[in-house]
Amino acid sequence: MMTTQPAVSLSHFGIHVTDLARMEDFYTRVLGLLVSDRGNLPNGPTLLFLSRDPDEHHQLVLVTGRPPGLDYNVVNQISFKLTTLADLQAMHGRVREEGIKAPTRRAIGSSSSSTRPGTRPSPLPSRSTSRRPSKQS
């Protein structure tokens, strides 16, 4: 018996940070997000809520408490949508001015392309060969 999957969309995401003020500056000044709320949990971290959508209280939550000295970045990627190629190019320039090395090549699943407003990119073609690791007994 097949069951129907409920419609799911991404609401927001949260990131633990080591320097909340620095991250607030970047996301507000460079990316244009607005602070919608902030607060402290009892005996816990400070939370900063940001959004670009006036209908959404928050799309991003920055949370203090990331352990210092991690030798890798725990966030693989964060993708933002821009309406036009010109907007994408302008944002790329702003990010580069901040000293952040932006990717220069597209990879499988990359969404660093521009589509006309109101259109959706077509899904990736299915692959007939899977590269999943084999199970070892």
What's the confidence (pLDDT) of residue 109?
52
Quote the pLDDT of residue 35.
97
Handedness of CA 38, 67, 81, 98 (dihedral sign): positive
Taking the whole predicted model, whether its pTM rises above 0.85 is answered as no
Mean pLDDT of the chain: 77
pLDDT score of 46 more than 90: yes
pLDDT greater than 90 at residue 22: yes
C-alpha atoms less than 13 angstroms from C-alpha of 27 in its C-beta half-sphere: 26
**Do residues 13 and 58 make contact, with C-beta atoms less than 8 angstroms apart?**
no
Pair 65, 47: CB distance under 8 Å? no
Q: Which fold has domain 13-69+77-97?
A: 2,3-Dihydroxybiphenyl 1,2-Dioxygenase; domain 1 (3.10.180)
Confidence at residue 26, expressed as pLDDT on a 0 to 100 scale: 93
Taking residues 100-113, what's their average pLDDT?
56
Domain definitions of the chain by residue range: 13-69+77-97
Query: What is the arithmetic mean of pLDDT over 86-109?
Result: 76
DSSP 13-28: EEEEES-HHHHHHIII
